[in-house]
Amino acid sequence: MANGYVKSLQKAIDIIDCLAANGEMGVTDISKQFNISKSSVYNILNTFLQNGWVEKNPVNDKYRLGLHIFELGNVVRAGFKLREIAIPFMKELVNKTGETVHLTIFDDGDVVYIESAQPENKLSIASVAGRRAHVHCTGVGKAILAFQSTEVIEEIIAKKGLPRFTSNTITDPVRLKEHLAEIRKQGYAVDNIEHEQGVKCVAAPIYNERGEVFASMSVTGPSPRFPDKKIEEYALIIKEITANISRRLGWSGDHNGQKGVVDEIIESN
């Protein structure tokens, strides 16, 4: 067996694939299909059930894929389309700023880094593509969190907490909400050495065709290269670029005048 192979995890993956191919199946059917004990199948399915990966039909006690699988599929599809549209703009942003550019999407209360663009011949921040990060302490995270509903913000605070990473990390819920209100007004977020020592970033939200903020983009670099004047300059550039990306995704508004979903969020918060 190859190194790094987890047999129990492979069983769980096989069950998910089986449900995808066959629709509803019972514990006995799955047990026979893979020659796994019923108790093992039940434990795997119950774990998936508690996390929304499968659902149980109350009429026949059979299992089927759950809503969370659908949501993950939407995240993947959105990520592919976003990458395709955003990469040329990321290169443009690198050329204009000479700094590292990150692209992220919002998933399960976190930000997930899906793409990075690096400047040449300059000390830059290492690529973090594929990593997850908290939303309360990163520029990319705050640029998304600020445009979520009050309920979503409260849920994330309750579920994820506000852990401290540096002395500048905002860990008080009231202060964070006040800070998010400022971000909504100005249309961009700043990570002022809140997640990593010596690192600053400027980030702006990306909207989908429904006017929902589901992604963000940032300019990131060593804090000495990000004085206030530079932050203001980068904010103007990145807001324009993320607005262009949003329009390519089907968004019809602009960062300072979007009507509908974003206005409702701002009013409710």
- Among 78-87, 148-157, 163-172, 225-234, which stretch is predicted with the lowest mean pLDDT? 78-87
> Is 70-268 a CATH 3.30.450.40 domain?
yes
Count Cβ neighbours within 10 Å for each residue of 173-212 and write b for 16 or more, e otherwise.
eeebbebbeebbeebbbbbbbbbbeebbbbbbbbbbeebb
Quick one: tokens of 190? 């700043």
For residue 260, the model assigns a pLDDT of: 35
Average pLDDT over residues 39-66: 88
Q: Which amino acid is present at 66?
A: G
Tens of pLDDT, residue by residue over 157-174, are 999 999 999 999 999 999
More confident residue, 148 or 17: 148
For residue 121, the model assigns a pLDDT of: 62
How many angstroms separate the CA atoms of 101 and 243, rounded? 16
Tokens 């506000």, located at residue: 162
Look at residue 17 and give its three-state secondary structure.
helix
Quick one: tokens of 195? 């997640």
How many angstroms separate the CA atoms of 104 and 202, rounded? 13
User: β-pairing, 110-117 with 189-192?
Assistant: unpaired
For residue 266, the model assigns a pLDDT of: 36
More confident residue, 107 or 263: 107
CATH topology of domain 7-65: Arc Repressor Mutant, subunit A (1.10.10)
Instruction: Count the neighbouring beta carbons within 10 Å of the beta carbon of residue 260.
Output: 12
Angle among Cα 252, 243, 190 to the nearest 5 degrees reads 135
Q: Report the chain's mean pLDDT, rounded to a whole number.
A: 86
How many angstroms separate the CA atoms of 232 and 240, rounded? 13
- What pTM does this model have? 0.69
Q: How many Cα atoms sit within 13 Å of 29 on the Cβ side?
A: 14
With beta carbons less than 8 A apart as the criterion, state whether 188 and 235 touch.
yes
Report domain extents, the chain.
Answer: 7-65, 70-268
- Among 79-88, 211-220, 235-244, which stretch is predicted with the lowest mean pLDDT? 79-88
Let me know if 106 is exposed, middle or buried by CB neighbors in 10 A (0-12, 13-18, 19+).
buried
For residue 204, the model assigns a pLDDT of: 98
For residue 232, the model assigns a pLDDT of: 96
Q: How sure is the predictor about 265, in pLDDT bands with cuts at 50, 70 and 90?
A: very low
- Among 65-69, 72-76, 116-120, 212-216, which stretch is predicted with the lowest mean pLDDT? 72-76
How many angstroms separate the CA atoms of 65 and 129, rounded? 28
Let me know if 39 is exposed, middle or buried by CB neighbors in 10 A (0-12, 13-18, 19+).
exposed
Above 60 in pLDDT, residue 255?
A: no
